Chain A
């Protein structure tokens, strides 16, 4: 089936199978490998991308569901001026290690911030509970998120 969507600000038209996952479409079809595959059951958040600004687990979201929508991956986010704030915060706190979960966390934090849902410690913790990081123990990521949100711990 033919779909037309916007990916990182550019219009893309493609012929996809009905069962093609958005994750595979992005990674294999468009070469955007920033979104990662891990749990495949919508638990870990490494495959998170934003669809119309909201976080989506692209491992369990069909490519054709994104037809007519705007998809933002970490590659696109990195081109936006606001990315600098995120990069500084993650660097300041060394909030990444192996880096496999990092794109998912960045996009989740961005969507929460845009939706005004990073206003308190509780909101931050609740909002990030759908992203797993096995390396950092989360504390540094929380600190980075607080900096991005302008919330003190």
Chain B
């Protein structure tokens, strides 16, 4: 077993302490980064909000959403519209940020609730289709209600500067990174608490075998709706941070491609793993940037460069998605877990006669799946 710091601390308190330590570490880390890196860090934090919610939704409750970009957009629009309304009535600074954030989260949560209600009765592909239709309809929605959403142009918000007290110490990018990290920390900690709590267990049960879960008194529909709403809330918070950092929200930023990128992030990181979602968010921010830099380094004709710049990243992500799902289903987190388990086994074999594995985490659903309830059993086995 790998050595643990503070072995006496377990359960939710341990989780909270870890979260606080990581947050402090991240905020301290911003001092080491230049402004552009801090901007990227803020983006990573915003994406992490969304991917953490999505990984919980797909990995634990087994509902696939292709429309998380639309939920992020709901958060972004909620934030931007509220912030603008508050600016007009003379409120600014921290109260404006907090109220706008709450409105953003509520807006995304309500949309998520609605989708969750439609999706709770459905199996995976249907929900995926509904959310796909939502994200495709997003530009249409913003242009039909262009009085509010300003069509393709989107909504711009006033610039949020660094507060007086900190102005001498940090630059604006660093301040934005701080805000992004703090909001993300709160949201993700909430998700982590849900994940290891009662609701998380119920989500696993419903995912593993819905019929058995129902027979055991788990209200499957309500659990699914709760999962979707929690996931939507975190996506909304992510959208609000993104709007805070970029000072604008427009349908062009929340396309189907972006939505699929979020799915790639959580699959590559490992479905259901919050650490994996963090890695996925980093990959999604850094890889396109790396590829862009690499393309820039070669002296390519302008047209080819244009074609490559947008598409090569998507190509790599798509290939990654296929390969990880087919070959490496647990993603990064799953690979780490397998490796740790193997090391533990070897360690234990050295120390003592074989014993009951003590630290086996419930990676498998809590309730064994019965073949009768699997509609997929008609699938040919090859």
**Same complex:** no
Q: Which residues of A contact B (CB under 8 A)?
A: none
